[in-house]
Structure 1
């Protein structure tokens, strides 16, 4: 049925015009294929969602086959349009990107080259001559034809203008004939010239002339050509008194070195030299796309579905052919033809190793034996359904389904069907379901060696993330990512989704706005892994990993102060950093070793590269051996993301002293105040030169976990998108002890502190969480915001009350039943209140509900709390009250089969009995 409808609409769309619109309605199509209207309508709408069919929603609603329409007119960017006029209006906007969007590598290895080409083509008057430089078979002729199509598209040349191509190598031994072909000749110019004949320059007048292998031109030929490039004038062979004029856009191509092959005078007239990468230099993803495009083309020519074994794919990917892309294309054509000749009566043509045109079988086996990437699955090419390429395993189908849901879900957000919060939860769930499925329900049956390589490198990446960003690793995380990369095979899945290009930047912006720390960590993780495995970081994988990290509460990762030791000498900085890191047993210090003659520009470049690749919002300490701190300050203060502490005369004792302070979790202001007070050193504490952002701080007496939850709920309630305003969680005890000496007050204009206990910071309004929940301080909070932002007060009040409800916060739990655990916690709190003879405030009850529920899940997850040095003395001193608390929570211990430690009991004690 699907084939009948698809084939019918594919052929019918060829005859589409404004005069026969009704023939493309669901009713009309149903009649033609002899199926019910409901069946046809259901199928058509499903295909619209998959991007294979275009839907125009005016009356009557009509459907067009996208592939056919694109070949006849232009490629639409949407699957649905309200009217035909809306579709046609898109033509002028879409066409300008069609030519280059179809070039494999346009957004990758050829991105810069295409920009060069566009610059040359769009240059006023007649454009600029273009030289395409690349090895044989790298695609120079194909690009030259694209340049001609681009000129037509941009209406730079007449539609009837010619594209003329000449391979100069064919006339290498007859330069006179080559010159006569280019410039034409007059009667009697040479033996056999019995009449005047025009040359290619005249034939290409107003169009494009492509001269391949142009290095075969003699010096005389080059001189004649650059004379024409200067004046647009030339003389036919045989009569220099005749001056002809032509406007021709020139494209040259060569496989040879420009400098050693051409006259300097010719080179000077080549302002645009475009280097084309070879097949071997292309990223793996582009190689796969090229191979796929060749097999799809053969499928279309042979009118058969083609199945290609993974051994053939692997061999084509990694064999080193001098003929490059062109050679690969010919091998694909031969192998398909060979298989077709043997199996033309079969529905599916199967291309195997034996179909390759390789004479030396031992060489082939040897090559295949060494190809670690034989992990690639068999691939299926169907010219009727090119978008279904290689989706022939459950693993691949599940991966595609999950990746497509990123786009489909975000479209629901845009249409107002779901909220951002719901979208995030659904994507996190989908990502984890996929990884669980791949990890626990699949088996690697091919190429265990490659899977081992994957696992080893992912483990190294997780170790790097742990050392530098506190990202804890475990076996399940490593295996999950290994299975994903193994089965995904570096494929760019979402490139086949019709809405991917328009939705992609929106999803990235969403993650950056709402999960900034996570997006940054995802980039670091994938970049580090890609460097080890030599694969391209794709935006679709960045989105996947971001949602994966979101499920692990990555926002609670500690953003530590970063430190660099920068010294002159072969290994001076490295030695000091290594000694300090080993003695401190923590990787605090990075090293930059510099030659003696290093310039300040080079030093600045190294530091900025570090800042770009590391989170430095909490501070960067730069320890240098010599140099002007003043110069560095002036260069960096407008480029840093957080405070910068510059210290001169670096030494190993100085590095160790700073490391010991970092171990004590001191902030950068404390380090600046306390560092080696009795030793004369030069130092400067520099803050970013920019207008301070406004901020609201959140804190909780019991720790950062609850502070982060309060931060999340405030962000959801305020729905702010103002980049000059942030809500950030911070350690209560630091605020209480150091007041405005803490970093947020130096970096931000702090409007208020929202928390569970007042840290008593003078001059900063405090809003108690219990008063926000009860409504007493909502007006005060709104007044603070109103002075700085435009807000919908009534809506904000509703959102605050809703989002700060106990149930909403407890929903943060991921493995426990919310209502069940909350009932047990409530009983425990009632027992404590009775046995201790206390009457607890709503604020304390709220804190206990929140803390105890999270505690149960934390214990089940085997997550530890911070050690307390005086815990033994505390247990002895407060034995009676501790026994009461333990009794109150005994039912929870039985129900969940857990043991609540003395450390956890101490935290509950602090909440219950604190003032």
Structure 2
């Protein structure tokens, strides 16, 4: 027997899934360690053994997965067949699932967008197909990034909670380990698990037992754990944790795969799109070539998204009759993909090998149902069909639908692709502004270069594209800005202004929008020589405050690189740093960087949203606060500040181009600011307000992720009312404890009422009610049959509050939760098609309460229309009864 066969035979005798290292085998065989190590690595290259992560390197005998699973071709097998670069990782993944007795915990490595989540789901499907897991076994996905900064909440999510373990734990709750019993738990972005989370989890991996938070009882769960990360596990994870994850599966990036394999992916994605829309897709040869050549910084994920988006646009035109079939041409591609065709000559040999000589197009679908290799993501098609359906119901004619859909799709596309954080390429910019604006920017950019004879750098193009994006958003919303420097620019830079007018006409023709001539003055600024600028005596200062170790710095760094000037100032608010320290940093910056034009604070959440008031009072300067921040907002605001735009205009424009989903209102995420605020206030100084804040925190029971007790001060009664109103606009103020009486629609208490505890019971009751309403989100999901959506509790609550205002009748607090459930269930019954319960004496009741009927009918009709149903007179009468006094 050869030495290598002896090594393999002895390795097979070890049944420990922790593996065996070369030193142990060498001692058992009486061979040198060097020879055994050499043979083990040869066996690994031949695919007969597997390496486990950690040091020293350990090996286990490979499982012959084909012999264990004969006659069944899984989706995992098909992936390995269509993507040769994944053949080894697929075999190892199958071995990890089949390894006796319960499988082998795994970690999936790979860059963003390579398909780690999809691969984990295919491993689960393979476990079911192979009979290792039952068809009803759970597959639970948990993104560790969601709770990275809250170890206690993360522990509660993983292990569960015993009632009374901490404030807000009002019932026993299962953790993910229990929910995933006899199934698979997938922990995505596992590198975001804090050390406490890793330590808690590896205890379970070691012993197979765990305890709920606050519970002394040991519990067990039969869970196979799959993790995934974009980071190097040796540096991003604890060694004690990685040692307990024996199987490492690395998925190569798209750049590392052969072009044949990329062609297979492109074909697969088009087949999936054909299956989703239920129509054949006809694709030109040039478009196929472009998809094979362009640089995808977002890996397989970006390739898939780009294919889906270009298909969606053609599908929309097919639905509106603009195209007779779903066909795609290279002209349909955004510029950053289409420009790859300029390099086609270098690929000629590859095209000859891949494609037939007489082939000029591809057809996908052929009327057959395609089984997807990836998770279903047909949101964009649902969006298109829903929008077209809505427009047709409203009686909009076909030509107008076609025009409107172009704008709707562009808006959808601009937020559809996940923003790529690595690199500032045109592809990334297109993901922000959309392909249409990229193409328009390219035409304007080229026109200016050819007419002015100046070579502009990439920063100019980026700034122009962002400017056009903001401009068109603003004009579409009926708002345009006057440029006070039109005459100065026209006189000082006549050549640039003339070209800018031509560019303005190009924009008008391309968009069909009427845009003021003032815009030409803005465009002319882009064509100035590098050493020229419109000097302003002073400019607005931009300050970005965001939670995290480098969140604000990263956004400001992007703005600085793209705009070529360092103007925005970042303040990184690490979670462990107190708000006072962050405020002191802001004060220092304002003190050292004075401006008469004011400051724009761009903040993400929490206490910094209130810093502006303090800065205004201390420094006597105008401050505006935007309670939202993203790279796009920082770019646009900073560019305007550099150009000398006023503070009010920057603030108004940034709000105008903000998607509604980014405007604070519903604070449902644990990492966002608390949803409700309780204010303590005093005049001059913070003495009594801080004392009252501490007193309330000691005497009230509340969930800190839902409620924040905030101390404020003011110089007089008018200033206090103004502050409270501004805070209430951003987050509802539950109650105000003040040293002076104020006339407001907010429940207020005096210091005496609170210190004597007479008001504590009322404030606690309001906290309990709002907490109950928040928790009703999950209750409604469990109870309702047809409507399953996040935030329904808030929407119904807002509906009821609106009726209360219009009817001038307030529903008692103890009844409000029941009314919310009644209205939600009513709409759910209508969606489900269930019969309506008759209201006895309906006609007489309506005739005697016409005013109330009219208000309730209009409110319910608007709400129900969102779900495509109509509320009957009977249902309206039942809701009217809730607003009768003394009932």
Instruction: Give the TM-score of the pair, scaled to structure 2.
Output: 0.32
The structure with the larger Rg is 1
Instruction: Give the TM-score of the pair, scaled to structure 1.
Output: 0.31
